[in-house]
Structure 1
Amino acid sequence: MIRLSEKRLPALALVALLAGCASSPEVDHSSRYTLKQDRAPSGSFDATGLADAVPRYEAPRTAGNKSPYTVWGKRYHVLDSNEGYVQRGTASWYGEKFHGHKTSNGEIFDMYAMSAAHKSLQIPGYARVTNLDNGRSVIVRVNDRGPFHGDRLIDLSYAAAKKLGYQSHGTARVEVAAITIRPDGRMFLAGAPFGPAGTASPEVSSKPAATVPAPGDALFVQLGAFSQRDPAEAMRERLKGVLENPVRVREITTDNGRFHRVQVGPFNNEVDARYAQDLLESRGFRQSIVLTDSH
């Protein structure tokens, strides 16, 4: 179990801090919580049918976005914009101790909602969080600050952590990609057009030239190159069910002879290709490279 009282500033102190009050983060405000240490809710909680947060445009606010701010002697800066943000690191979670208390922007924390705390993303905001060990993804609404323990990247609500499958481990290796929404409803994931269900937005899919890379520009994850076709086909069979992306065996002739390359793709950008590569490596396909169609 994670001792979140050691890694997150109590919400009341952080709200006061981000509002510019004189409260010191070194002051112990833990008496405002019923629990001294965080914990998961008692009983059984099924997160399988829990819906992701639904991104929507929200006008910028001042609450929770004071920058820079200082916690336990360390200074943090809030991003001017979440546009294009994508980073990998360690995720933790917080639950019953903070349930029902205020988040950094004054909202009420609900451990059963799809929400998160982040040190630098503008709040409220949205992000897709992917567990790099099992490939599961969730969309969360970021409305809190933290975690301030070690080098952890993001704190998810208990529900979001359970949906990602790491609530019993405490932490997980994740990728956090910001979702930004324009006033006209257009949505972007780490700067690329994005749809509510995690697919390309209708606007972009209606323009093939914008989504289909030019010949030679598409990216593939290559898992092996064989002089004979049979082992290449065997590897392609092994890949069935691992990813939804197409798998091909590409035959090429080089100065060193003829080879059969096993490749997953195409991918429109490096973010998607690298994510697929990490997922494949977690499933045992560890000898992979990312290359273009022309290589």
Structure 2
Amino acid sequence: MNPTPSTSPAGAARAAGSRLLPLSFCLALFAGLLSGCGSTPRQGDEPVASAPTTQPAARAPAPARATRGGGYYLDDGPDDVLPDDLDNIPDAEPRAEPLHRFANRPYHVMGQSFVPVTEVRPFRQRGHASWYGRRFHGRPTSSGEPYDMYAMTAAHPTLPIPSYVRVTHLDNGRSVVVRVNDRGPFLRGRVIDLSYAAAHRLGYINAGSAQVEVEQILPDEAPLVASTRPVPPLAARADEGVVAAGEPALAARALEPLPAPAASAVDMQGSTAPAPTSAALATADGAGGLVPPIASASGGIFLQLGAFASYANAEGFRDTVQGRAAALAERFELLADGERFRLHAGPYESVDAARSAAERMGSLLKLKPFVVVR
């Protein structure tokens, strides 16, 4: 019998592993799930795609384990010793991969039905991210690959396996790229389960969860993906709600926290439709001249530098970027996209030209722009 995510020991245990449940109830539920899962055979003849793992030799002592209300459920925490270079574990590197034959079938778990997406297409979702650690380290994921808590991977209820997503912490602006190779979480309000390493990079290990945005990385975007690492912030101008030219870290402002959506995580599983057509609000060239708003955005190849819920903050960010990047003579546009305002640079003649511009701007602005095609 082919396995489904509903019979995966790791997925079932994580589904039961709410950090808010009473300890005795969780222990009993987890024991029952394990006994039920133990009799379910797993698929043995499915080829397992290779995935890079991180096994540093040098380790550092783990932080003290939480006994209640901490960042992980029961004993699902860090190892006794941790790699000493967790901050330097690189993002997953997106590449074209065939979809798994079994991991993308519809399934039913915890009274909910899920229909995984079977193609890589535009997808954006906001909600809470959790993480899972040593309890599942080495156990098979829904893809059949062993879970590596020190690799940049994730579990998602419906995204294709395997696929790649950019996950951004909406409270601190940090961003990572992870490879989706597992199913979960199944608790309402949770949209993605990250590996220990990915959660560490985003900075929410101790909190246990964080408000994030998940965005699918499309094949055309794969060659240019990297996390946005905030640099130490300096003081902002008192008369401006955004950073001033030449002062603080742009990276931490490049994605402003957004209001939480009304729909729950499970309700969002159908939100894979392409994003709404953007409307250009205002443009500015490298010399600082404003262009009147236009009705709709032109197509082409662009770089995205940031996204904001407030137009005023987006405009201030654009002015800051424009001031710092004046020597590059780039053209910038602010675009309205649903609830957000995005700062784009371009257009460029080719993806290669956009990548070159991204490297120049990234070095100058301490940002990681990425290619978008609209």
Query: What interval of TM-score do these two structures reach, taking the shorter chain for normalisation?
Result: 0.5 to 0.7
Give the whole-Å Cα distance in 2 for the aligned partners of 1:162 and 1:76: 28
Q: Deviations over 1:166-222 (max 9, x none)?
A: 0111000101001122xxxx336xxxxx723479xxxxxxxxxxxxxxxxxxxxxxx
What amino acid maps onto 1:129 in structure 2? Answer: V
Quote how far apart the aligned CAs of 1:29 are: 3.6
- State TM-score, norm by structure 1: 0.60
**Of 26, 31, 34, which aligns to 1:30?**
34
> How do residues 129-140 of structure 1 correspond to structure 2 at under 5 angstroms?
129-140=167-178
Is 1:274 matched with 2:278? Answer: no
User: Structure 1: any 5+ residue segments left out of the alignment?
Assistant: 1-7, 16-24, 189-193, 200-229, 253-260, 278-295
> After superposition, what is the alpha-carbon deviation per residue over 1:121-149, rounded to whole angstroms, capped at 9, x for unaligned?
01011000011111111100000000012
User: Cα distance 1:146–1:196, how it changes in 2: closer, same or farther (>3 A)?
Assistant: same
Structure 2 match to 1:187: 221
1:99 has 2:103 as partner: no
Residue in 2 that maps onto 1:227: none
Which residue among 184, 190, 201 is the counterpart of 1:146? Answer: 184
Give me the whole-angstrom Cα distance separating, in 2, the residues matched to 1:140 and 1:39: 20
Instruction: Give the aligned partner of residue 155 of structure 1.
Output: 193
Taking the aligned partners of 1:52 and 1:270, their CA distance within structure 2 comes to: 29
1:219 match: none
- Distance in 2 separating the partners of 1:250 and 1:274: 23
Matches within 5 A, 1:45-194: 45=83, 46-67=85-106, 69-181=107-219, 186-187=220-221
- Contact 1:249/1:263, CA 8 A, preserved across alignment: no
Share of identical aligned residues, percent? 39
The alpha-carbon distance between structure 1 residues 60 and 248, as it changes in their structure 2 partners (threshold 3 A), is same
CA distance in 2, matches of 1:233, 1:89: 29
Q: Which amino acid in structure 2 is aligned with residue 43 of structure 1? A: V
TM-score, normalised via structure 2 length: 0.48
CA RMSD of aligned residues (A): 4.1
Q: Are 1:11 and 2:8 matched, yes or no?
A: yes
Residue 316 (structure 2) pairs with residue 263 (structure 1)? yes
Question: Structure 1 237/96 Cα, relative in aligned 2: closer, same or farther at 3 Å?
Answer: same
Unaligned runs of 5+ in 2: 13-28, 39-72, 229-236, 255-283, 292-313, 319-331, 344-374
Paired residue for 2:247? Answer: 240
Structure number with higher strand proportion: 1
In 2, are the aligned partners of 1:132 and 1:175 still within 8 Å (CA)? yes
Change (3 A) 1:162 1:14: closer
The 1:161–1:235 alpha-carbon spacing in structure 2 relative to 1, beyond 3 Å, is closer
Q: Is the 8 A contact 2:155 2:183 kept in 1?
A: yes
Letter in 1 for 2:117: L
- C-alpha distance in 2, partners of 1:161/1:110? 13
* Residues 115 and 167 of structure 1: CA distance in aligned 2, closer, same or farther (over 3 Å): same
Paired letter, 2:317 = V
State whether residues 10 and 136 of structure 2, in contact with CA within 8 Å, keep that contact through their aligned partners in structure 1.
Answer: no
Point out 4+ residue stretches in structure 1 off by more than 4 angstroms.
Answer: 230-236, 244-252, 267-273
1:27-80 CA-to-partner distances (Å, cap 9, x unmatched) read 9343589x974222222444111100000000122221012x100121111123
- Distance, in Å, in 2 between the alignment partners of 1:134 and 1:264 is 16
Higher relative contact order (CA 8 A, sep 6+): 1
Q: 1:114 to 1:249 in 2, by over 3 A?
A: same
**CA contact 1:126–1:178 (8 Å) conserved in 2:** yes
